[in-house]
Structure 1
Amino acid sequence: MTLGPPAQAAGWIAALKNTPAESFDDEDLQMFLAAGVKALNAEGTPEVVNWSNPATGAAGRFKELRRTETKDGRTCKRLQIWVSMKKWGEKSSVWMACKSEQGRWGLAAAK
């Protein structure tokens, strides 16, 4: 799987490494990223954002665990991220994502 510059810049490579996502095709990756953006941009009560690609058996979900603000006023969200593929099973991890001064989300660190 090759991630394009937007995914690389946001730090998603680290979140996907050694997971079922290594078998994602381009369509799976686009669905994963779209669901991630939806979860990060959600305001109000946190929701679980699910996605799946019946054609490949890839699926996943994002769940906001906590929302905080940095000292300089940027929003950060702690997310639990699940990814799965039929032949791999499911794997989850927890990550912190923060909004940059330019308004873009990026993974800050594994937690």
Structure 2
Amino acid sequence: MSLLGLALASAQLAACSIAMPSSPHGDDLRAAAEATGSIRKPAPEIARGLEAEDSRRAKAALATALDPQGSGDRVDWDNPQTGAKGVFTPVGQAYPSDGRICRSFLAEIVTSHNEERLQGTACRDKAAEWTLLDVKPWKKG
């Protein structure tokens, strides 16, 4: 290969490579992008408009309804002080998921301002605490 051919080939190859200066913030940006994906959504609520005592009673009823050792029957709750009331009905059998026991449910909750029909799923951890995974409106089919 001639010296001229070698010089042309070198010039073409050099044009293909581009040196990018590294940013001192490059790692910070990458870490921020990764961290953004790890932000957890807040846990869903059983229903809108429940006062603290309503929520406590509803959660206790939900735990009873979803208990895999329970009867599988619906569990009613109410709070005479606020007039809020509801019912939780377990759907299907409990099943394991990521070291937890999960179960689906249907709910009807009435407050002085609202009436909701919901469907959702909750899981119980090793500390026997039920956590809602999802809750959405239920439309009877």
Unaligned 5+ segments in structure 2 are 1-41, 137-141
> Is residue 2:87 matched to residue 1:61?
yes
Residue among 118, 122, 135 paired with 1:93: 118
| RMSD, aligned α-carbons | 2.5
Deviations 1:34-92 (A, max 9, x none): 2122212252431111011122110011100112423656421111122111332x211
Retained in 2: the 8 A contact 1:46–1:64? yes
| Fraction of identical pairs, as percent | 27
C-alpha change, 1:12 and 1:54, in structure 2 (3 Å) is same
Amino acid at match of 1:94: Q
Structure 1 unpaired stretches of 5+: 1-9
In the alignment, which residue of structure 2 is the partner of 1:82?
108
Cα separation, 2, equivalents of 1:71 and 1:29: 25
Report how many residues are paired: 95
| Greater than 4 Å deviation, 4+ residue runs | none
Map 1:28-67 → 2, pairs under 5 A: 28-41=54-67, 43-67=69-93
If asked which structure has higher relative contact order (CA below 8 Å, sep 6+), I would say: 1
Closer, same or farther in 2 for the Cα pair 1:52/1:93, shift >3 Å? Answer: same
Q: Tell me if structure 2 keeps the 8 A contact 1:67–1:75.
A: no
Q: Which amino acid aligns with 1:105?
A: W
* SS of the residue 2:78 aligns to: strand
Higher strand fraction (1 or 2): 1
